[in-house]
A and B are shown apart, each in its own frame.
Chain A
Amino acid sequence: MSSLMEKSPLGVFQAHLTKGELAYQVCHDDNKPFFYPRAHAPVTGSENIEWRISKGFGTVYTTTVVHYKGEPPLNVAMIDLDEGFRMMSRVEDIDPMQVKIGMRVKFRVFPGTDKAAPYPVFTPAEGK
């Protein structure tokens, strides 16, 4: 039996991020990848779960540009990682309106601060 006394799913995910890694989980009972990280796999309920490191390449599933008053436009996108899981993120280094559905993107870490944990973002990776 696994324990939540020492490590949490979010804690493991963030520990990988601090090493520059995008981690996700695969359930060994049905061999399906899933995201967000969980203590038990969805559908099977299994704790027979393996952490894996994504190669970091994905495709934009959908995208939007948020307009907060007094701030530059902000991209929010859904990314389908090549390993078969989807996550919310942001595509950087590009005009937010130029982020297109189907665009190839590559993971990098948005560094954390004293107050906030690091989190994954993406940049354009045409041809990859």
Chain B
Amino acid sequence: MLYAILCYKDEDVVAAWTEAEDAAVMARLGTVHERLERQGKLGPSLRLLPTTAATTLRKGGEPPLVINGPFAETKEQLLGFYVVDVADLDEALAIARDLAAANPGGAYELRPVLLYNPDPRMPDPRKAAG
């Protein structure tokens, strides 16, 4: 089943990293990513740019209100997510633990997901195979 691993962390802390520190974290995470990829468990993964680059469209009003910044001002921010293909929650938690060891601080939220619409711009692997 598919799980989203949502990565929450204080983005001020991430911004305080030097380029070398950022690269060191990414290299440690890369080892975990590679293993998951080899095992065919890694789906799309995204790193979100800082919330200062975010814009929010508030529905409800007419017209909807466009405001600067993220939807919620929180102590820790959603900084990215993975989609992993795992047997159960335990396996998803094991992956999250490996990621946490590579990139301590913050939290991972594990949420089961339904594949709503795979990227339609990508060639369909089934068609390509056939």
Please indicate whether A and B come from the same complex rather than being unrelated chains.
Answer: no
Report A's interface with B, CB cutoff 8 A.
none
